[in-house]
Structure formats: C-alpha cells, structure tokens
Amino acid sequence: MATCPTCCKSVDEVEDPGAAPYGNFINYYTFNPPENRLSLIPATLLRDLGHNDSREEDTLILDVGRKVHLLGFDLDETLIRRAQQTSPEHSNITFMHLDITKDTKQLQDYLRQHCCTHFHLCLCLAVTMWVHLNHGDSALLQLLSHLASISQHLLLEAQPWKCYRSAARRLRKLGRSDFDHFKTLKIQGDVAIHLKEHLEKHCGMQLIQSFGSTSWD
C-alpha cells in the first residue's frame, strides 16, 4: 500500500528504486524478502499457499481454519495489474487500485459485499512513512484512525526514523525536490511509539502482541 498524487509517474517509468517516492517499488521483495517478516511470526499462525516464481514471494494467510477473503490495494495501477496477473487462480483474493488518503468508499463497498462492518485483520506494513513524508503528521494520524475504525485487529509495521532520512537522501541524489513535509514533521524519533500511543489514546485499540523487529530497525 502506498499513497501519492494522481500525477505521479508509474513505477515502470523509473529505473532507480530510489525514484519511487511513494513506496511503490517494482522490486520491493528483492531487497525485503517476505521471510524477513515471516520469521518473526509464530509458524502456528501461518499456512503456506504456495510459491509464485513470477512474484518472487510466498503467498500466506493466517491459518484461521476456514476460507478467508483477502483484499490488497495500492495507488499504483501497474502494481495492481501485476498482482492480478500473478494471482488469477485465487477467487478469494481481490486487488484494488486505491489511494486510501483520498477515497475510502471502495473499502466500505467491499465490506458491504461481504456482509461485514469491519475487516478482521488489516496489515499495514512499511506504509506509514510514505504517508507521513508526502502528506504530513495529520494525514498519518488520520490514516491510523481510519484503519482502526474499520479493523478488528491491526498489524502495523512502522518504518524507523533512519528510513525517513534514507528516503530523503535517495530523493536528493536524484536531483528531485525534498519530500513536502520532511523538514516540518513533529512526529519524529521512535515513530512506532507515537503511533502506538495514538491508537491507544484516540482509537480505543490496545497492543496484543509485538512480534519484534526486522533488520530495518
């Protein structure tokens, strides 16, 4: 999941991975393999659905003992099309072109189609930094509040502050303008702690379990 203005270039139009200033990397799983995260989650919670060589990633779901419906969305249409092409055999998996900072009606429509008011689990992995850098403090907190309002459980992976600096540095090396909000962000330092406090104080959520840190931390 990533966010950007509609005028942003497709990830196919750029060669340097640092030129994806909204997190819409075409080769994401080559430098951050799924195993980096999956190794932190107890094996009893996961069930392997198979490996897809074209995507270089394993597709897994929580082993809840019944059929589940999965929804993945991204603002980059190219990435959505690729996901649709590599998972055509899974009728219970849907991929949606969506910028969650602007349009949430599609999510509500999806829930209604499945006679649900909330998602049982929302995965927000390495997304918050891109919303934060491109839209600012208030947009980041609004995103968390919205996800909490439509999810029974939220699995959140927030990028550490060093990743913010690295993203800004990559952008400058390409001769591009800095992120709009990077120098004015008030939420800094241990970002994960700030997000946890917001979810607990303003969204009525509580921490159930921390699965640890990846090598990015």
Let me know if residue 207 belongs to a domain: no
Angle at 127 between CA 137 and CA 142, to 5 degrees: 35
Q: Are the C-beta atoms of residues 32 and 163 closer than 8 Å to each other?
A: no
Report yes or no on 59 lying in a domain.
yes
Does a structural domain hold residue 210?
Answer: no
Residue numbers of the domain that contains 181: 11-202
Residue 213 domain-assigned (yes or no): no
41 in a domain, yes or no?
yes
Which pLDDT value is given to residue 44?
Answer: 65
Nearest CA-CA partner of 213 in 141, 163, 158, 166 = 158
- Position 216 in a domain: no
Question: Residue 172 has what pLDDT?
Answer: 87
* 8-12, 160-164, 204-208: the lowest-pLDDT one: 8-12
Give the pair of three-digit tokens for residue 121. 């689990």
Domain CATH number, residue 143? 3.40.50.150
Please count the structural domains in the chain.
1
**pLDDT at 14 (0 to 100):** 42
The whole model's pTM is what?
Answer: 0.78
Q: How far apart are CA 25 and CA 23, in angstroms?
A: 6
User: Tens of pLDDT along 130-176?
Assistant: 999 999 999 999 999 999 999 999 999 999 999 999 999 988 888 88
Tokens of 129: 């930094």
DSSP H stretches of helix in 68-160: 77-86, 105-113, 128-135, 137-150
Q: Quick check: is 208 in a domain?
A: no
Answer yes or no: are the C-beta atoms of 120 and 153 closer than 8 Å: yes
